[in-house]
Structure 1
Amino acid sequence: MKVHILDDWSDTLRHLPCFARLGGHEVTVWTDHVEGAALAERLQEAEAVCLFRERTRVSAELLEALPRVRLISGRGAWPHVDVAACAARGVAFASRKSDDAPNHAAAELTWALILAGLRDLPGQMAAAKAGRWQQGVGRSLRGRTIGIYGHGRIGQLIAGYARAFGAQVIWWGSPAGRARAQAAGGEVPASRADFFARAEILTLHLRLTPDTRGCITAEDLAQLPPGAVLVNTARAGLIAPGALLAALNAGRPAVAALDVFDTEPLTDPDDPLLSHPRVIATPHIGFVTEDEFDLQFAEIFDQVNAFAAGRPINLVTPSGA
């Protein structure tokens, strides 16, 4: 098959072990991002398209312009793919949410951002390079309370790290998530307000769905304790529009360490959130490690091979099955 891989911005995949799985195909790797007519033109010969997470949206308009495509292969949730349009045009869509495999890379970045927020590592590094020694005083993590919103795989990894560092963990999320946390022996505060009021470090770990979009409100953020650090390596849309910028300007949280933004790629250095003096920013690199790429794309390429062999796996229907 003629297989096209989109949005490999760092040109990483062809150098990983998983790439050998496409040895029987004619493979094209695109290392930049285009949309609209330019994207349709470059995919005219493609029979299978491999998606790089959510970097490209697969719309009905795009599919109509791709007469040869028979398979879209991805991994994880698929808010960026019009599954009904795929079905209507006879294009198979394969993706697996991999609920049994925690994303260690995202958890590790989350922990790095927690420490960076408490110790102001970006500020201290910039000061040292500028010849200013020991600018400001950081805070220790041991003995502090970490509020984890979302009792999923990544949140549970963070809880394990917290215990190793001597921090206390409290949980919040959906009723089902809170029940799982309690069943596992975790502490769930008596109320949502109490959770936010105690969370010296607040970290978000849940999927962005219609139910979770905007679930962190301005009122929630206003209840954070003085000096709180908010970390978001999940999705920017979990926080109500405009609420985080207003909360930072009001002083709660004191610091926001963000790996995700409403607009991505975010290339405007003057963006009010990106340029905020109390924002530590990374460019959505929670999953960007060689190890995680190799794991994820091994599954994406296996889906291509299974489809080519006439035994497709992980097919998604408009009903979500």
Structure 2
Amino acid sequence: MRWGWNMAIDLNDADNAASDTATSDTVISILEPLGVPEAALQAELDTLPKGVTVRSYDTRPTNDDELIERAKDAEALVVTNLPLRSSVLEHCPKLRTIAVAFVGFDHIDLDYCREHGITVSNCPGYSNEAVAELVMLLTLALLREVKANDIAARSAQTSEGLRRNEIAGKTFGIIGTGNIGRRVAELAQVFGARIVAWNRTPRDIEGIEFLPLDDVMRQADIITVHVSSTPQTAHLVSRQLIGLMKPNAVLINTARGPVVDNAALAEALNAGRIAGAGIDVFDEEPPLPADDPLLHSPHMMLTPHIGYATDEALGKRLHEAFGNIRAYLHDGTPTNLVA
């Protein structure tokens, strides 16, 4: 298989499984790179039924015109975090399903899709381990001030003044106990932390004490956010809630940027009202503008939205996304349906 700008693969001649809904004019367009080896993608394509043409692109589109050209005649689209708004979707009259190779799907115009009978699916489980491990990494980096220690070692300094804290014995506050939040709880328990949590829907999970959100913010030494971005969760971690945090507490956000009032978070850090923050997600996708307040705040550990980005996770993501495509081609309903 060859990667190309407008590479098409006709699977009519391949020995593939039968399908209930695929026809000889079914087109699947993978609108952007999926970050996996060519052989892994080809293995998934080999599982698709006869009569399917797949187009794959090795670059992201740079404007809507280019995006429309890639998508306009497709029945199925595959994207990661590429925005698909109504201004693009209205040029896709054959479109019936969008497979989002991502946990979040707030970059898809769901209202338009619902109105036009377009199903949308996501990949909810692929990054559980990757994101949970990043939470622990950011937590340790803040509690042990890894950046300052690295600078000291490279500058012929000693450890003087760099004694910091452990996770053991601290209270971990988890906002949202879905798959990733629960995995973070498991890892934090291994480190010896007490776990408190808030969830929109009450739950009963062994080892986790569920509290009102205000109390989680007041009690936790480490607060980590694991809710999706919706109109209801915009600035869920508000200026008021940030004001409830302990002076020695740190905040970790690997979920979605708009869930946290980032301007208020930067103010709290600049004023020394909280001890630090580890942020992997922002109000917009990196690269960040030079005036983003988080770039200029002290005691901040930033990563450019890499929580999901491990070789292992991207392999799982590929399989989940094409599982949704295979289910759609079988009976018209993707496995992980979100709209």
Q: Is the 1:227–1:253 contact (alpha carbons within 8 Å) kept by the matching residues of 2?
A: yes
Note the alpha carbon deviations across 1:130-173, whole angstroms, 9 max, x for none. 44443623211211111112222222212211221111112223
Q: TM-score, normalised by structure 2?
A: 0.79
Please state if 1:60 is matched with 2:86.
yes
Which residue in 2 is equivalent to 1:184? Answer: 206
User: Is the alpha carbon distance of 1:153 and 1:36 closer, same or farther for their aligned partners in structure 2, counting shifts above 3 Å?
Assistant: same
Which residue in 1 is equivalent to 2:197? Answer: 171
Note the alpha carbon deviations across 1:40-63, whole angstroms, 9 max, x for none. 2344564532111xx222122102
Q: Is the 1:18–1:294 contact (alpha carbons within 8 Å) kept by the matching residues of 2?
A: no
Distance (Å, rounded) in 2 between the aligned partners of 1:262 and 1:275: 15
Q: Is the 1:77–1:95 contact (alpha carbons within 8 Å) kept by the matching residues of 2?
A: no
Which residue in 2 is equivalent to 1:80? Answer: 107
Distance (Å, rounded) in 2 between the aligned partners of 1:295 and 1:247: 38
Aligned positions of 1:96-245 closer than 5 A: 96=122, 98=124, 103-134=128-159, 136-174=162-200, 176-177=201-202, 180-181=203-204, 184-189=206-211, 192-240=213-261, 242-245=263-266
User: Is the alpha carbon distance of 1:263 and 1:84 closer, same or farther for their aligned partners in structure 2, counting shifts above 3 Å?
Assistant: closer
Kindly state the Cα deviation for residue 67 of structure 1 after the two structures are TM-superposed.
4.8
**Identity percentage of aligned residues:** 32
Aligned residues: 307
Q: Which moved more, 1:77-86 or 1:233-242?
A: 77-86
SS class of match (1:146): strand
Give the aligned CA root-mean-square deviation in angstroms. Answer: 2.9
User: Is the alpha carbon distance of 1:267 and 1:307 closer, same or farther for their aligned partners in structure 2, counting shifts above 3 Å?
Assistant: same
Which residue in 1 is equivalent to 2:36? Answer: 13
Q: Is the 2:135–2:254 contact (alpha carbons within 8 Å) kept by the matching residues of 1?
A: yes
SS class of match (1:13): coil
Q: Is the 1:96–1:314 contact (alpha carbons within 8 Å) kept by the matching residues of 2?
A: no
Letter in 1 for 2:333: I
Kindly state the Cα deviation for residue 77 of structure 1 after the two structures are TM-superposed.
4.7
Which residue in 2 is equivalent to 1:275? Answer: 296
Distance (Å, rounded) in 1 between the aligned partners of 2:169 and 2:121: 41
Letter in 2 for 1:58: L
User: Is the alpha carbon distance of 1:205 and 1:70 closer, same or farther for their aligned partners in structure 2, counting shifts above 3 Å?
Assistant: closer
Kindly state the Cα deviation for residue 241 of structure 1 after the two structures are TM-superposed.
5.5
Which residue in 2 is equivalent to 1:302? Answer: 323
Note the alpha carbon deviations across 1:75-122, whole angstroms, 9 max, x for none. 5453222234335556x43414647x7711111111111111111112
Distance (Å, rounded) in 1 between the aligned partners of 2:148 and 2:173: 25
Q: Which moved more, 1:280-289 or 1:20-29?
A: 20-29
User: Is the alpha carbon distance of 1:133 and 1:45 closer, same or farther for their aligned partners in structure 2, counting shifts above 3 Å?
Assistant: farther
Note the alpha carbon deviations across 1:215-262, whole angstroms, 9 max, x for none. 112121122112211101111111236221122122232111001000
The correspondence for 2:54, drawn from 21, 26, 46, is 26
Point out where structure 1 has 5 or more consecutive residues left out of the alignment: none
Q: Which moved more, 1:244-253 or 1:112-121?
A: 244-253
SS class of match (2:55): strand
Q: Is the 1:119–1:139 contact (alpha carbons within 8 Å) kept by the matching residues of 2?
A: yes
Which residue in 1 is equivalent to 2:283? Answer: 262
Q: Is the 1:258–1:281 contact (alpha carbons within 8 Å) kept by the matching residues of 2?
A: yes
Q: Is the 2:225–2:252 contact (alpha carbons within 8 Å) kept by the matching residues of 1?
A: yes
Kindly state the Cα deviation for residue 311 of structure 1 after the two structures are TM-superposed.
2.8
SS class of match (1:213): coil
Q: TM-score, normalised by structure 1?
A: 0.83
Which residue in 2 is equivalent to 1:35? Answer: 63
Which residue in 1 is equivalent to 2:19? Answer: none
Q: Is the 1:21–1:301 contact (alpha carbons within 8 Å) kept by the matching residues of 2?
A: yes
Distance (Å, rounded) in 2 between the aligned partners of 1:136 and 1:304: 52
SS class of match (1:274): helix
